[in-house]
Amino acid sequence: MHELVLHPQSADGPIKKVSASLRPTSAGCEAEFRLEGDIASIKVPENASPRREDFLWKTTCFEIFWQPDRGTYYREFNLSPSSKWACYDFDGFRENSRDAPVEQIAISCSHDEEQLVLKAAIASELPDPAQVALNGIVEDLEGNIQFWALAFPEGKPEFHSEICRQLRVERNT
């Protein structure tokens, strides 16, 4: 598991630690995200039918950014504890956003008073070697947002920045 850091402009909140892991698979990848803290004090989207939906990042969710070594293209995944998901392709930094093809995304989420764990199995073409970002967005019950990532560029929280893509992924074939 990789420990994520809280963005310096995010206020302390009920979540004290966020960690994440990612493993490439022949079909795409598997990821796990873990929140630790006062789970009852954050907004956890209610379980729903798995489906593609936009704007999941407006409340508690997790993100993966996958950028193959070749070119500026990257793919973004938004993964909600509700089991809803989104997937977008970009030609460059926030450039030409469009829905990306996905064969399947399966999300499971469990939580208790002190921990929330989201697991995702993603079947989507993900070329490698690649630089990957693992991010968390946490909204508390008062509407305050915490931004978590492997790293951040200076300034406002910007998950689309290549600086966030600190994880090197390469399948051993």
Residue ranges and CATH numbers for the domains of the chain are 2-169 (2.60.40.1190)
Count Cα atoms within 13 angstroms, Cβ side, for 133: 26
- What Rg do the C-alpha atoms of the chain give, in angstroms? 15
What is the mean predicted confidence (pLDDT) over 26-32?
Answer: 96
Q: What is the pLDDT of residue 31?
A: 98
What is the mean predicted confidence (pLDDT) over 89-113?
Answer: 94
Please tell me the distance from the alpha carbon of residue 41 to that of residue 139, in angstroms, as a whole number: 9
Q: What is the pLDDT of residue 145?
A: 96
Q: What is the pLDDT of residues 158-168, one digit of tens each?
A: 999 999 999 99
Residue from 75, 41, 54 nearest 144 by CA: 41
Residue from 32, 56, 40, 58 nearest 111 by CA: 40
Q: What is the pLDDT of residues 42-85, one digit of tens each?
A: 999 999 999 999 999 999 999 999 999 988 899 999 999 999 99
Q: Using DSSP, state whether 58 is helix, strand or coil.
A: helix
Q: Nearest-5° angle of CA 135, CA 118, CA 38? A: 85
